[in-house]
Amino acid sequence: MDYTMKPKKDSPYKYLAMVSQIGISMFVPIGLMFFVGRILDYFFHTGPMVLVICIILGVITAFWNLYKIPMDMNEKALRYNKRRQMEYENDEKNQRKGS
């Protein structure tokens, strides 16, 4: 196995997928809560009160997702790098023992 620790070029599709995931995770809660608020306002005849509350909840959820997704990705990358480093160190030890 080659563990020279050279940086690997990432595919542009990986970044496109990440940006798309973040965009969708921001749009869906706001849009969903907008429609829920409209429906609840229609049934309960409350004017735009429930709509505004639902949109605020959707925006809070969207920004929570905006915070959470990159943090999860960073944690996954750190675990991957740590595992690769351990494999690299084990291979070096095995090569020294074999020499």
Residue length of the chain: 99
Range of the domain at 72: 12-98
- pLDDT value at residue 1: 46
Structural domain count of the chain: 1
Task: Read off the pLDDT of residues 36-76 as tens digits, 9 standing for 90 and up.
Answer: 999 999 999 999 999 999 999 999 999 999 999 989 989 99
Six-digit token pair at 28? 């869906």
Alpha carbon of 2 to those of 6, 42, 87, 88, 91: distances in Å?
A: 10, 63, 10, 9, 10
Distance CA 61, CA 40 (A): 19
Domain assignment of residue 77, yes or no: yes
- pLDDT value at residue 11: 81
Domain assignment of residue 6, yes or no: no
Domain assignment of residue 3, yes or no: no
Name which of 3-7, 27-31, 78-82, 90-94 the model is least confident about.
3-7
Six-digit token pair at 2? 């080659």
- pLDDT value at residue 57: 97
- pLDDT value at residue 91: 86
Distance CA 48, CA 9 (A): 50
Domain assignment of residue 72, yes or no: yes
Q: Is the pLDDT of residue 6 over 80?
A: no
Confidence band for 7, pLDDT divided at 50, 70 and 90: low
Six-digit token pair at 73? 């990705």
